[in-house]
Structure 1
Amino acid sequence: MSQLELNSNAEEARHTYFVDVILPVPIPKMFTYRCPFDLEDFLQIGVRVIVQFGHRKVLTGIISKVHERPPEKYEAKYILDVLDQSPVVFPQQLKMFQWIAEYYMCTLGEVLNVALPSGLKLSSESHVQIHPDFDMYESVYDFSGKEELLIEILNKNESLSYSDISKTLQQKNIFSILKSLVQKDAIIIYEEIREKYKPKKEKRIRLNSEYLKEGALETVFESLSKKPKQEEVLLFYLQQVPIYKQTKLNEQGIPKSLLAADLSTSAIKTLTKNGVLEEFEITISRFPDDDQETKPVHLTEIQENAKSDIIENFKTKDTVLLHGITGSGKTEIYISLIEDALAGGSQVLYLLPEIALTTQIVTRLKKVFGNKLGVYHSKFSDNERVEVWNGVLSGRYQLVLGVRSSIFLPFDNLGLILVDEEHESSYKQYDPAPRYNARDVALYMTSIHHCKVLLGSATPSLESFYQAKSEKYGLITLSKRYGNATLPDFIVADMIKEANKKLLKGEFSSVLLKELQTSLDNDEQAIIFQNRRGYSPYISCQQCSHIPKCTNCAVSLTYHQFKKELICHYCGYKEKMPNACEACGSTSLQTIGIGTEKLE
């Protein structure tokens, strides 16, 4: 048998693998792609792949299944590339994605689009370049002014994106120009794939290893005797890096920014050019390690009893509700439970609503857990979110403090989820899909991670409190404030009685005015809260009772006196304050209620 026949039989004996890929598109199905033989060794559930979708798009997807069955309704395209050597998404996450898609009635692609940080999704953008065989002077075609301008620009640039061309030509729709130039064989349009995530780099300086030899540095200093600035740079480096005591420190060098802060940059450049110093780059974390000493938390007897009750409830229930009044010390209990979980080798997710994620709680946790803590927040850049994602994958971050989107992080050994202020509406995402509630997803995660969930609140949601009273959840109550602190006094003013006795001054009760005056007399501060923007919540016709409403949202329009406008606080719709009722024509329009403008 010939070698050609042997190779042919070997190819036939090889298995052809196909993969089902979840793509970040709002289509209710997965797509099957064929795997080239040279990429078979990299196929794993949970790794990212680049695939062509449609005629022009290139997308990043996640492998959810590897098999040998080709699709029946269409011919499978080949995977273009595999991006990861190990999974970036775990099977538990894929199961959770599927549940979210089914429970919140959206597509799996929409879940993936929200779950995966933008920095982990390769973007495909069309680029334009001059055709290699194109010569404008030999072309038989005529070109418009815009076409000639674009050709001139492309001759000066290797390639340009659609958006760059649109800005340069100052024309929004450029497709007709591009189509014409393609037909005239003047340009080529192609897809350029670029990785959004870019590691943070730091330029560093070190001494050339040749000058670590005995006597070499003395020779250098002799040559620099009449070059004080270069000599100053070298002396500063040696102060920072004691090479004679610890030679290995030279390999790490020092940041170039530290050297260039107060010293001559031209002197640094000259020393580098002459080979005395070396410049190199390293990848650094956007979240540098914190060397501060961690401090343990000490619980009071009441807190210790509450913690013991929580642990006892966890033996029979996956979820426990901690109903503790404001200032009762719930956070200290959380921290103690986190310490126990981390000591047992488990990961912990600490969820907070958007409004509650403050610098104070981050600083507080940093003091206890140091570099084990990762923070996942919507205000982070794409690159920072990717670093936290990778930090959870690598095990660098065993504790994550985050908002609702942190439930999508790649946990593989989750032991405890804390949902603080569980009643907050911020845990619910309304737009875009998936319209999930992170608290409820956390409750589902107990079934796939076999972890425990602690819900905490001073004012539990109705549904959580009902589940606790029905004994589906455990219920622990803290009714005393930490350190025997007293609750603030509440004084209720009866506005009807105040009005009947003619004690009201404008919108203010005599009780409020008295207390404000007392505070001012004592050189104290006071805050007045009013939960309505504008001058008044709405206006009403005194004749027919008509109330102007938003044309989009069907809610009453708020009157803003400063702008003399009626504004919808849902969609932003605006209209001028009318002179007469649009229903009956009466000019008897009255502002109803009080807003911050009126209060001021």
Structure 2
Amino acid sequence: MESLFSDQDFLDKNSGNNFADIILPVPIPRMFTYKIPKNLQPLIQIGLRVIVQFGRKKVLTGIIGKVHNKPPQAYEAKPILDILDDQPSVNPLQIRFWFWMAEYYFCHIGEVMFAAIPSGLRLSSESKIQANPNFDVESSKYPLDVREEKILEALEKKEELSYEDCEQILGIKTIHPILKSLVAKEAILIFERVQEKYSPKVETRIRLTAQILTTKGALEAIFETVQGKPKQESILLKFLRDVPVFNKPHLNEKGVEKSTLLEDGDSPSSLNTLIKNGVFESFKHVVNRIEEEAAEREASVLSSTQQAAFDEIKSHFETKQSVLLHGVTGSGKTEIYIKLIQEVLESGSQVLMLLPEIALTTQIVGRLKQVFGSQMGVYHSKYSDNERVEVWNGVISGRFPFVVGVRSSIFLPFDSLGLVIVDEEHEPSYKQFDPAPRFHARDSAIMLAYFHQAKTLLGSATPSFESYYNANQGKYGYVELNHRFGDATLPEYHLSNISADRKKNLLKLDSTRLLREKIQHALENQQQVIIFQNRRGYSPYVQCEDCGWTGQCVQCDVSLTYHQFAEELRCHYCGYKEKIPPSCPACGSTQLSTQG
């Protein structure tokens, strides 16, 4: 598909431009043109977050996608209200990637933006009410009822109220009709209070004042002052124990956390007295929510087989953008990944490694952390909104040149990707079904690498048909690892004939005699047993006992699987789902039963 946008559209050309096209998180297939106020023109850059009015009442966070001098023909451009960033939160390469995704997956650019930006970087707005200064109760031709008077009385004591405040004042949950009436009587004004969701984590720290630190003999004099005041003396001694300013005065700048000085039950009032007397000063310090971890080990030395595979991958990268690494389970693909990552990081480029599901791959994340330590960030939905924003900002600042994450990690603000690794590339969890964009993270990662002129390594013990086909056609490089690393051996397996056991009447609880014997043997040896069942959901289908109706997918014409936890029927081919009906859609009977 030919792109609607050229590379020139994403160049940061902001000097002397009066209009900006803003990407907004709405399902409409275009950007929206806004006027750049003169005071903001020197600050405007592509990728900055801005606040704009959308429609009559909505206030949204948008991303500057383009700057120009062409006023819109169909409407009068509204002004940009404010800029949220000092530096762009999104870079031009990301925006280009967003537009590709919108075109390729048939969705809107606003939907891609909504999926890409962490919710902590989007604005939250809350409706607030305040008294209309031009309203006079006595001269108003509209009488107020008792509840309306209570709201106005509350506004005399407090400048503004939220909807929740009003509900608590009146003790009711349906506040909208009352506020609507007050607006009609011109007694109140309703407005949107806009604020950022993300807030940095700060802690209060304590340090000596500059006067005490630099004045000769001042600290000794303080000790004389606090003699006979054991609580103040205890706090002072504790500070000097943690911050040895006599030998290392530069440590005073960072100080010590306030809670540390008070953790042994020392009095906050004693600390406040020392602050009031000019001994200490308190200050706010921004701290990282994501803890720093030092690297604990060097990368392992590759075996001869692994080294040969590594060299073959490097050779393919000289002529091809993507390589498929087909390695059996336990062949040591992770160690090859590590060596490739090290080389790319040493060259000054960034690395993205995709995993199908962080919760199921904690072992590999732990191994990578041991080697890369604080260079490595982890990005997934289990993190809080604020933690995800800190990883996002860490990629921009260079704190995390290497990120491991799930499919949403492809949206991170990389500006110099050198390598993208997609581990277990065959996994279906790389596909997003709902909401839009309905994308495949593996395919999107290959395109992301293309935009960065980076390389892509796809790893799997059971490659997908698409990747295997592309490798056979010569589109991808292909490298095999057929042997397990070290002394690892493949698990022993046995085939059990269910039909034969059924004929001999040896089948019990749908299990063969061989299976029962193996389970019993494992339990007797204090070992664990896992039984895998090749079925998803609680029941393969739901059927009406009266007429035989079964739920069918409206798109695939296959039976819908019943999932008990969500009380819904799902199609495992296309992702369609619907709530289980209370009665049979065909005959109206309530006799619905799960089958299989």
Instruction: Give me the whole-angstrom Cα distance separating, in 2, the residues matched to 1:585 and 1:386.
Output: 51
* Rounded Cα–Cα distance in structure 2 between residues aligned with 1:168 and 1:568: 44
**Counterpart residue identity of residue 413, structure 2:** P
Q: Is the 8 A contact 1:538 1:559 kept in 2?
A: no
1:204-261 deviation digits (Å, cap 9, x = unpaired): 0112233223322232222322221221111111011111101111121011122222
Instruction: State the Cα distance separating 1:549 from its structure 2 match.
Output: 3.1
Correspondence 1:515 to 2:528:
no
Q: Assess, with a 3 A threshold, how the Cα gap between structure 1 residues 254 and 294 changes in structure 2: closer, same or farther.
A: farther
C-alpha distance in 2 between matches for 1:502 and 1:265: 79
Q: Which amino acid aligns with 1:193?
A: V
Q: Which residue of 2 aligns with 1:235?
A: 237
Aligned position for 1:4:
none
Counterpart check, 1:490 vs 2:518: no
Report what 2:505 is aligned to. 502
In the alignment, is the contact (CA less than 8 A) between 1:566 and 1:576 conserved in 2?
Answer: no
Distance in 2, Cα, partners of 1:290 & 1:109: 37
Where do 5+ consecutive residues of structure 2 fail to align? 1-14, 572-576
> How far is the alpha carbon of 1:414 from its aligned partner?
0.6
- Structure 1-normalised TM-score? 0.88
State how far apart, in whole Å, the 2-side matches of 1:480 and 1:320 are: 19
Aligned to 1:69: 70
Indicate the residue corresponding to 1:459 in structure 2. 462
State whether structure 2 residue 250 is matched by structure 1 residue 275.
Answer: no
Structure 1 distance, partners of 2:581, 2:124, is 41
On the 8 A contact 1:538/1:547 being kept in 2, the answer is: no
What is the alpha-carbon distance in structure 1 between the residues aligned to residue 124 and residue 31 of structure 2?
A: 19
Which letter maps to 2:20?
V
Instruction: Select between 52-61 and 285-294 the one with higher mean Cα deviation.
Output: 285-294
Shift of 1:97: 0.6
Are 1:217 and 2:219 matched, yes or no? yes
Residues 559 and 317 (structure 1), Cα distance of their counterparts in 2 relative to 1, 3 Å cut: closer
What's 1:249 paired with?
Answer: 251
User: Which sits farther off after the overlay, 336-345 or 87-96?
Assistant: 87-96
Per-residue CA deviation, residues 81-117 of structure 1 (Å, 9 max, x unaligned), is: 2222332211111111111111111111111111111
Contact 1:100 1:111 in 2 (8 A): yes
Question: Structure 1 stretch 71-80 or stretch 358-367: which is displaced more?
Answer: 358-367
For residue 94 of structure 1, give the secondary structure of its aligned residue in structure 2: helix
The range that moved more, 531-540 or 368-377, is 531-540
Q: Distance in 2 between matches of 1:119 and 1:288?
A: 19
**Matching residue of 2:133:** 132
1:241-294 alpha-carbon deviations (Å, 9 max, x no partner): 111101111121011122222241333233223332211101122223334545
Q: What is the TM-score normalised by the length of structure 2?
A: 0.89
Distance in 1, matches of 2:593 and 2:166, equals 54
Change (3 A) 1:351 1:566: closer
Instruction: Spell out, residue by residue over 1:139-172, the C-alpha distance to the aligned partner (whole angstroms, 9 max, x if none).
Output: 5532223322322333343322335545654655
Aligned with residue 349 of structure 1, among 352, 355, 359: 352
The one-letter amino acid of 1:414's match is L
Q: 1:214 to 1:460 in 2, by over 3 A?
A: same
What does residue range 175-194 of structure 1 map to in structure 2 within 5 Å?
A: 175-194=176-195
Residue 153 of structure 1 corresponds to 154
Assess if the C-alpha contact under 8 Å between 1:550 and 1:568 holds in 2. Answer: no
Residue 478 of structure 1 corresponds to which residue in structure 2? 481
Q: 1:502 to 1:566 in 2, by over 3 A?
A: farther
Distance 1:225 1:398 in 2: 52
Aligned mates of 1:362, 1:247 — CA distance in 2: 40
Task: Evaluate the alpha carbon distance shift between residue 492 and residue 393 of structure 1 in structure 2; reply closer, same or farther with a 3 A threshold.
Answer: same
Q: Which residue in the other structure is 1:9 paired with?
A: none
| Residue 585 of structure 1: how far off its partner (Å) | 9.4
Q: Secondary structure at the match of 2:319?
A: coil
Change beyond 3 A, Cα 1:171–1:568: farther
CA distance in 2, matches of 1:439, 1:306: 22
Change (3 A) 1:16 1:365: closer
Pick from 545, 548, 551 the counterpart of residue 549 of structure 1.
551
Give the letter for the 1:214 counterpart.
K
Return closer, same or farther for 1:177/1:536 CA change in 2, 3 Å cut-off.
closer
Name the amino acid aligned to 1:513.
Answer: R
CA-CA distance at 1:538 after TM superposition: 4.6
The answer to whether the Cα contact below 8 Å between 2:540 and 2:559 also exists between their aligned partners in 1 is: no
Residue 7 of structure 2: aligned partner: none
State yes or no: 1:392 paired with 2:395: yes
2:292 to 289, 293, 304: 289
- After superposition, the C-alpha distances for 1:414-466 in whole angstroms (9 at most, x for unaligned) are 11000001111111111111111111111112331111100011111111111
Contact 2:569 2:578 in 1 (8 A): yes
Q: Decide whether the 8 Å contact of 1:389 with 1:410 is kept in 2.
A: yes
Residues 288, 476 of structure 1: CA spacing in aligned structure 2 closer, same or farther, 3 A cutoff? same
**Alpha-carbon separation, structure 2, partners of 1:459 and 1:37:** 58
Amino acid in structure 2 at the alignment position of 1:262: D
Which piece of structure 1 moves more, 272-281 or 192-201?
A: 272-281
CA contact (8 A) 1:538 1:558 kept: yes
What is the deviation of 1:592? 5.0
Report the residue type matching 1:488 in the other structure.
P
DSSP 3-state at the match of 1:248: helix
State the match for 1:423 in structure 2: 426
Instruction: Identify if the C-alpha distance between structure 1 residues 550 and 272 changes in structure 2 by more than 3 Å, giving closer, same or farther.
Output: farther
Q: 1:260 aligns with which of 236, 259, 262?
A: 262
Q: Compare 321-330 and 290-299 and name the one that shifted more.
A: 290-299
DSSP 3-state at the match of 2:486 = helix
Alignment of 1:34-49 (within 5 A): 34-49=35-50
Pair 543,118 (structure 1): closer, same or farther in 2 beyond 3 Å: closer
Structure 1 distance, partners of 2:376, 2:180, is: 53
Q: Give the secondary structure class of the aligned counterpart of 2:39.
A: helix
CA distance in 1, matches of 2:337, 2:76: 54
Output the CA distance in 1 between the equivalents of 2:469 and 2:346.
Answer: 33
Partner residue of 2:304?
301
Shift of 1:66: 1.2
Task: Report the alpha carbon displacement of residue 472 of structure 1 after superposing the two structures with TM.
Answer: 1.0
Residues 566 and 426 of structure 1: CA distance in aligned 2, closer, same or farther (over 3 Å) = closer
1:323-362 equivalences under 5 Å are 323-355=326-358, 358-362=361-365
2 CA distance for matches of 1:357 and 1:401? 13
- CA-based RMSD of the aligned residues comes to 3.0
Specify the code of the residue in structure 2 equivalent to 1:36: P
Match of 2:322 among 297, 319, 322: 319
- Structure 1: state its 5+ residue gaps: 1-13, 594-600
Q: Give the corresponding residue for 2:4.
A: none
Q: Determine the structure 1 residue equivalent to 2:90.
A: 89
Residue 122 of structure 1, CA deviation: 2.1
Amino acid at match of 1:288: E
- 1:379 counterpart = 2:386: no
Between the aligned partners of 1:325 and 1:148, the Cα distance in structure 2 is: 75
Residue 166 to residue 26, structure 1, CA distance change in 2 (3 Å): farther
